[in-house]
Structure 1
């Protein structure tokens, strides 16, 4: 079965099959005059992405641009591999992430501390990209897609300080990365993504307000897929963030440890997510817990609360 799905407007969703899982991480090819890959996924996903681009008629010399919303390994871990496979492509990233793509040693060392033996099967190794091929964008930026079509980047920290959203001038698609959380297509759930060390509630909410103001026609989630209900989904994302942070703040004020804070969040959000409900497919919940674990989210919120305290 092909892992490529046409979404209209010369946009193609590519299931990057992170760690072999289907429907958990999406990259997107904009097949414009200057083809652009948004979110290449992990290093382990690079051969999968390459096969998809070949299926779509994009050869080694054809890919003009690779853009990442941020440098977390499920989004950008394959940048070095893809850069080698497509030697004419320019790599676009926020300025706060650029040096880590050129020299990933510090990022990989940190990832090994967090993931240990799981690092290799989940993500693989982020390989360095020639700094001369990296273009850093700041508060806003522009990617030429050819024929007058452009991707406009908008700095959207809160999930990560190096996060950008990307708005397609032709389709109105907004590539939201993780700034609007995790979308589970099977159940239409929206869950926060609040990992350490960068999560900050006020900053994340400001980024969602910025996304609302862009008046996009559709949201394209890296996890996972297209969503037409733009305003409602962004509002739900903000609501979920507030609920999780309130629950963790209450647990922290009671002196509870991480495990008890996780339990407090799970109790507070009981019934909010069909994917985690009593009638849910346990494999679905397991898959998303691996991607977006409650313990990691709660740890990120605690880190943020401690920083502000």
Structure 2
């Protein structure tokens, strides 16, 4: 049975969730939320961490957790594994985005000893969960499926829905956004026929087929918007849509903006279009 832990990022509920299945922690979140994660585990020592990808809001606490639990196994895609062992490039990239807010947002990002890291390529079954390679949001993204309970753990590939909302928007930060691969990954997800998707931002949701179709539409729509407008126009339009769809609930809108800052969502899509033009 899947258990949700709201890790209360920056003290706000409904932004980042970790999930626990039979002692396995899927995406523990950042070290800035470590105390909340440990409180949610309620004294249980995790058997392993299963990372969907290495972005700091999903995996930032990994090294600190290994320091606390030295035998902890960490599963991650083979492209992400080197950056857990030596996070210097990851930190340099993140610092360009977040500047002097790094410590506040993510806390300590400690290296993970190589002997704790188990690299995945997709197609495996680990700790009783199926693994699929699901790029599009990140080149090293994987999803996990618990066939027994019907839950798919989808990181960011199934979009962002921050409570109390039920609608979905795509998280598109740089540097790896690829809209074609993302749609392929949604096909991979649907092939599992999951009862629910468990998403980091934030919670577990049914009606997976409807959700995926809504997300496909949003990927196309916001992709076109980023292609046809400036950063300022994109950010203004996205903020207006989120506020409108939040029914004027400022706190609900801020949950989404914390999970997916509009400026970063534009930057990822702009880079996608620029790189695509360079290839053509």
Scaled by the length of structure 1, what TM-score is found?
0.85
In 2, the alpha carbon distance for the partners of 1:279 and 1:240 equals 19
Structure 2: gaps (5+ residues)? none
* Secondary structure of 2:144 counterpart: strand
Instruction: Give 1:89 deviation, angstroms.
Output: 1.7
In 2, the alpha carbon distance for the partners of 1:258 and 1:26 equals 29
Does 1 or 2 have the higher relative contact order (CA < 8 Å, sep 6+)?
Answer: 2
1:206 matches 2:184: yes
Aligned equivalent of 1:247 = 225
Aligned equivalent of 2:35 = 47
In 1, the alpha carbon distance for the partners of 2:227 and 2:96 equals 26
Bigger share in strand:
1
Structure 1 counterpart of 2:118, from 135, 156, 170 = 135
Instruction: Give 1:265 deviation, angstroms.
Output: 5.1
Instruction: Give 1:103 deviation, angstroms.
Output: 0.7
Aligned equivalent of 1:21 = 12
Question: What is the aligned-residue RMSD (CA, Å)?
Answer: 1.6
Instruction: Give 1:280 deviation, angstroms.
Output: 2.2
Q: How does 1:247-286 map to 2 (within 5 A)?
A: 247-251=225-229, 257-263=230-236, 270=241, 273=242, 276-277=244-245, 279-286=247-254
Structure 1 counterpart of 2:109, from 123, 126, 138 = 126
Aligned equivalent of 2:259 = 291
1:36-62 residue CA offsets vs partner (Å, 9 max, x unmatched): 111110011122211221x2x514xxx
* Secondary structure of 1:195 counterpart: coil
Structure 2 counterpart of 1:221, from 174, 199, 207 = 199
Instruction: Give 1:264 deviation, angstroms.
Output: 5.0
Q: Which moved more, 1:298-307 or 1:182-191?
A: 182-191
1:208-235 residue CA offsets vs partner (Å, 9 max, x unmatched): 1111111111111111111011111111
* Secondary structure of 2:124 counterpart: strand
Q: How does 1:65-214 map to 2 (within 5 A)?
A: 65-144=48-127, 150-214=128-192
> How many correspondences in the alignment?
277
Structure 1: gaps (5+ residues)? 1-8, 145-149, 252-256
Q: 1:12 to 1:104 in 2, by over 3 A?
A: same
1:145-186 residue CA offsets vs partner (Å, 9 max, x unmatched): xxxxx1111110100001111101211100110011101230
Q: Which moved more, 1:135-144 or 1:155-164?
A: 135-144
Instruction: Give 1:207 deviation, angstroms.
Output: 0.6
Bigger share in helix:
2
Instruction: Give 1:278 deviation, angstroms.
Output: 7.3
